[in-house]
C-alpha cells in the first residue's frame, strides 16, 4: 500500500481519510502569517497529488465550515484526525464534527475483512461498556482516541469515547455530585456514587450517574439542552439538581452559614467541621452570573432546598439544630440517605 505523506512539523490539525472503495485523501492545516493554510492531497494512480498553494482560513472553526468534507463524518469513510491540544482540545474538535442526518451506522460488510474486524471490535467494546447509549457508529479517531456517533434526539452527535477509561470525553464538566456511606462502626465505605453533568457539545449537556448510582432505577444517562444565557442556564441546572435529588448537597455547597452572626467561636468551628466532613457534596464549575439564578431557581422550585438554606442561615432555629445533629451522624448507612432526603427533623 502506498504510504501516507509525512505530516510537517508545526501542523495544528491533520486528517487522513480513506474510503471503502480504496480512495484516500489527506488534509494538513498549519499557521500562515496571519491565517491558517490548508493543504489537501489525493492518492491517484499510486502517487500523491497536492492541491497546490492551499486554501486559507482564519481559524480551525472556519476551516471546518469552509473546507468541504473536512468536518463531516460520513458512512463509508475512516477518518483519523490529529490536533494540537494547545490549539484545540480533542473534545472541542469532536464537538464541531458533523454527522449527516438520516445516515445509518457504518456497515462492516462494506469493507475488507482485515479493516472491518478491527473497527467492528471497537464498536462492540463501546456497546459493551455503554449499552444504554444509542450508538450510531462512525469509524474515526482523534489523537488515537475513538470517535463515534450517538443519537441524542435532536441529531446524531459525534462524541469522543475513551475506551480505556470507559467514558465519553466532554468539553468540560459543569457539575458533579457525590455521596458515600460506611458500614456501621467499620469505617469501610460500602456505597459511593453520584451524578455528573458535562458539556458534550455547544448547547448539549450529558448527565450520567457514576459509581453505585448506576444501579439506581431513577439515575439514567440523559442528554439535555443547555442554554447559553446565564439566567436560562441557571434554571436548567436547578432542574437538573432537583431531577437527581441532590437539593441538600446543593444548599450545603451554595448557601452561607449563619447570616446574622449568632454562632460563637466554638459553635462555628463545630459547624464548619461538620460541613467539611459531610458525606454529600456538589461541585459546580460555572460563572457567578450562572450561580445566582441557580440559587434563586432552586429556592423557587424546591421546598427541601429552601429548608436546608434556611437551616444554614439560622443555625439556632429548630431546623438548624436538627440539621446540625444530622450532620453529626456521619457517613453511616441510613444516616446519609436521611440527610439527603431531608428526614432530619420535624
pLDDT for res 136? 94
CB-based contacts of 126, cutoff 8 Å, min separation 6: 135, 137, 146, 148, 161, 163
Do residues 273 and 309 share a domain? yes
Do residues 245 and 177 share a domain? yes
pLDDT for res 184? 63
* 280 falls within a domain: yes
Do residues 61 and 30 share a domain? yes
| Among candidate residues 118, 136, 168, the one where a domain is terminated | 168
Distance between CA atoms of residues 161 and 94, nearest Å = 10
DSSP string, 165-198: TTEE--SEEEEEEEEEEE-TTT--EEEEEEEEEE
SS3 of residue 254 by DSSP: helix
Do residues 30 and 124 share a domain? yes
What cell numbers appear for 270 in the block? Answer: 463545630
Do residues 163 and 253 share a domain? no
* 207 falls within a domain: no
DSSP string, 67-88: STTTTB--TTEEEEEEE-TTT-
Do residues 238 and 122 share a domain? no
Distance between CA atoms of residues 206 and 86, nearest Å = 25
pLDDT of 213 over the 90 cut: no
Choice between 115 and 218, residue whose per-residue pLDDT is larger = 115
pLDDT of 182 over the 80 cut: no
What is the pLDDT averaged over residues 316-341? 86
Do residues 256 and 154 share a domain? no
* 117 falls within a domain: yes
pLDDT for res 122? 94
Do residues 64 and 177 share a domain? no
* 312 falls within a domain: yes
Rg (CA), the chain: 25
Do residues 250 and 117 share a domain? no
pLDDT for res 333? 66
Distance between CA atoms of residues 115 and 113, nearest Å = 5
Do residues 109 and 176 share a domain? no
Give residue-wise pLDDT tens across range 115-157: 999 999 999 999 999 998 999 999 999 999 999 999 998 899 9
Domain residues for the domain of 31 are 13-168
- Tell me the average pLDDT of the chain: 91
pLDDT for res 215? 81
* 203 falls within a domain: no
* 78 falls within a domain: yes
Domain total of the chain: 2
Burial of 133 (0-12, 13-18, 19+ CB in 10 A): buried
Which residue matches cell numbers 436546608?
308
What is the pLDDT averaged over residues 233-237? 97
Give residue-wise pLDDT tens across range 57-95: 999 999 999 888 899 999 999 999 999 988 899 999 999
Do residues 129 and 34 share a domain? yes
| 52: confidence class by pLDDT, cuts 50, 70, 90 | low
* 202 falls within a domain: no
Do residues 29 and 163 share a domain? yes
pTM equals 0.89
| 53: confidence class by pLDDT, cuts 50, 70, 90 | low
Amino acid at each position: 500500500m502506498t504510504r501516507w505523506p509525512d505530516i510537517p512539523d508545526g501542523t495544528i490539525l491533520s486528517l487522513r481519510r480513506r474510503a471503502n472503495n480504496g480512495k484516500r485523501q489527506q488534509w494538513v492545516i498549519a499557521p500562515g502569517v496571519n491565517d491558517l493554510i490548508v493543504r489537501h492531497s489525493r492518492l491517484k494512480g499510486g502517487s500523491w497529488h497536492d492541491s497546490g498553494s492551499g486554501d486559507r482560513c482564519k481559524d480551525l472553526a472556519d476551516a471546518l465550515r469552509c473546507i468541504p468534507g473536512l468536518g463531516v463524518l460520513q458512512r463509508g469513510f475512516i477518518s483519523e484526525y490529529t490536533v494540537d491540544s494547545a490549539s484545540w482540545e480533542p473534545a472541542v474538535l469532536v464537538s464541531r464534527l458533523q454527522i449527516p442526518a438520516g445516515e445509518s451506522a457504518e456497515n462492516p460488510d462494506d469493507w475488507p475483512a482485515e479493516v472491518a474486524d478491527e473497527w467492528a471490535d471497537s464498536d462492540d467494546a463501546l456497546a459493551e461498556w455503554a449499552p444504554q447509549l444509542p450508538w450510531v457508529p462512525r469509524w474515526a479517531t482523534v489523537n488515537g482516541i475513538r470517535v463515534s456517533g450517538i443519537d441524542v434526539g435532536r441529531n446524531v452527535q459525534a462524541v469522543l469515547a475513551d475506551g480505556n477509561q470507559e467514558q465519553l470525553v466532554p468539553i468540560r464538566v459543569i457539575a458533579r455530585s457525590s455521596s458515600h456511606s460506611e458500614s456501621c462502626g467499620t469505617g469501610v465505605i460500602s456505597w459511593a456514587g453520584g451524578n455528573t453533568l458535562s458539556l458534550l457539545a455547544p448547547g448539549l449537556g450529558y448527565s450520567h450517574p457514576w459509581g453505585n448510582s448506576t444501579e439506581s432505577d431513577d439515575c439514567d444517562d440523559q442528554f439535555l439542552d443547555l442554554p447559553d444565557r446565564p439566567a436560562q442556564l441557571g434554571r436548567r441546572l436547578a432542574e437538573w439538581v432537583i431531577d437527581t435529588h441532590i437539593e441538600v448537597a446543593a444548599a450545603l455547597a451554595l448557601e452561607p452559614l449563619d447570616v446574622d452572626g449568632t454562632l460563637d467561636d466554638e459553635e462555628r468551628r463545630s459547624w464548619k467541621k461538620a460541613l467539611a466532613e459531610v458525606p454529600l457534596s456538589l461541585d459546580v464549575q460555572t460563572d457567578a452570573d450562572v450561580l445566582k439564578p441557580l440559587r434563586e431557581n432552586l429556592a423557587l422550585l424546591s421546598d427541601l432546598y429552601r429548608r436546608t438554606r434556611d437551616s444554614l442561615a439560622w443555625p439556632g432555629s429548630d431546623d438548624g439544630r436538627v440539621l446540625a445533629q444530622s450532620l453529626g451522624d456521619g457517613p453511616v448507612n441510613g444516616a446519609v440517605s436521611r440527610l439527603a432526603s431531608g428526614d432530619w427533623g420535624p
